[in-house]
Structure 1
């Protein structure tokens, strides 16, 4: 059964948002993908389009038309490096998504993350309010944080190695949006650092501090703190001492890491030592739900990512 470790409220919310929709799984010849499609049909009545090279070849012109349309929107000619991919199943899936024939695309148990992102950018483009594609993990904790949060989101954990202040703003916006869709709860965002509101000075601290400043100016109604250390973000008593004017007050559920080193290490520690159930990485930022998989993903992993990606539509 999908999402067994989730609270009933979050699980029901994801199921409600994903149920009965249609998804493209472009790597349709892989046994794991075929099994995932069966799971999705059985549990959520999700219709799956399993990609295959013969159909993708037949649909090349349709895929090319969509890719040219996206390129024109960007004001750039279609790259010669992209043209040979018009018969690729992941690009075909993106074209179907662009046309509304499916509600989401999930690929990557065979293809690389770079390939999946390239397909997303070439067929659906970016959300209008962001300039990046990023990624997040949704983690169900074995016991709640001291602030009482049992379901948390970590970002970015898989795409942008050294995000700028502006990119951290986009990562935070996309992360809190996804968290709200998945959990049905109000996001509480913290921009993480080794400093808490001026306790240290360093270019890395300044980057996070600037990101928080820009974020609060751009999205004043979203509950957010920064720059804060991890304990300030998730322990109310520490937050009260270190950041008494903060809004999250130790009840963070959306953790924004300063770089990919920290995010990737952080989620793996939480999963492997902390015992959390981790789902992802889910790509965020494409104009329509388009996500990646680990190449080591099991059928159950694929089904989980597919349901979460559909829940964003």
Structure 2
């Protein structure tokens, strides 16, 4: 059973309600039908019902709820809640009502109000537009200082990681984290690995240096981030700074990082900046023929996840399963 098949089975065992606010995108409608048919989650599509049914073109949408913000009996209630949340920023009740006509804001408010357990969007919207309402309405989870993003990478025929499964972070959101932010990304990613893969995380703080083999401002950031992460989460196996080969390959780890409890067996790879992380995940996906699931967000009070605008219906199904487990 593949990684995503295992996630789908777990999602089926505790069915959550996931809102898909891009209900007027054909891929989203196709995914909704697949999700309902497989029993992965209860689905709410946001949009005009006539348009959604036209896009369905014979697909079975029975049991799928459709909410139109322009007609919903929830819109007024959501507008009042949003107004209370944002009135300190100068927003009026009339402006709040306008925001609730936006399917993304309406979808996040469903999550805020407990009418859905999570939201998946981004097939037709940018990452910024998808996450902005989540940060305004849901904010960060208790005890969390930073929202970041990761990819679950599943590499075929791979002896490294957990049977070829890794988390790469941050590959989609935090552009140039400082040492404090990098430590937060490491800890959050370890927890995400435990939640999704159900194995103990081994977190490598990656650099072009291993254990002081090079010295610069760039390596110092990773060294300091490692120390901070170890101090904050002494129960998690975190080590660095490590080169990628030292993090993954036991024979090289013995030479470059002897005595490390992470080197040679890392399954969570933390990159020093978004350039490195994004390049690494795309190279792994294309050259290693890996499955890439993400970007998945971590640190928001309730799960809201972004999709690639080039995603397929099958990709949406996978992210919905991940979101359901996060919930």
Residue aligning to 2:242: 228
Give structure 1 stretches of 5+ with no counterpart: none
Pairs within 5 Å for 1:120-269: 120-146=134-160, 149-269=163-283
Q: Tell me, yes or no, if structure 1 residue 66 matches structure 2 residue 81.
A: yes
Cα distance change, pair 131–78 in 1 and its aligned pair in 2 (3 A): farther
Cα distance change, pair 78–124 in 1 and its aligned pair in 2 (3 A): farther
**TM-aligned CA deviation for residue 90 of structure 1:** 1.1
1:79 & 1:293 partners in 2: Cα distance? 29
SS of corresponding position for 2:152: strand
2:142 & 2:171 partners in 1: Cα distance? 22
Residue aligning to 2:57: none
Residue aligning to 1:274: 288
Cα distance change, pair 232–160 in 1 and its aligned pair in 2 (3 A): same
TM-score under structure 1 length normalisation: 0.90
Pairs within 5 Å for 1:37-116: 37-52=32-47, 55-57=68-70, 58=72, 59-71=74-86, 76-77=88-89, 83=96, 84-116=98-130
Matched-pair contact (CA < 8 Å) for 1:14–1:182? no
Cα distance change, pair 77–235 in 1 and its aligned pair in 2 (3 A): same
Aligned pair partner of 1:26 in 21, 25, 33? 21
Aligned pair partner of 2:6 in 6, 12, 26? 12
2:104 & 2:118 partners in 1: Cα distance? 11
**TM-aligned CA deviation for residue 13 of structure 1:** 4.9
Q: Tell me, yes or no, if structure 1 residue 306 matches structure 2 residue 320.
A: yes
**TM-aligned CA deviation for residue 5 of structure 1:** 3.8
TM-score under structure 2 length normalisation: 0.87
**TM-aligned CA deviation for residue 68 of structure 1:** 4.0
The structure whose Rg is larger is: 2
Give structure 2 stretches of 5+ with no counterpart: 49-66
Matched-pair contact (CA < 8 Å) for 2:12–2:40? no
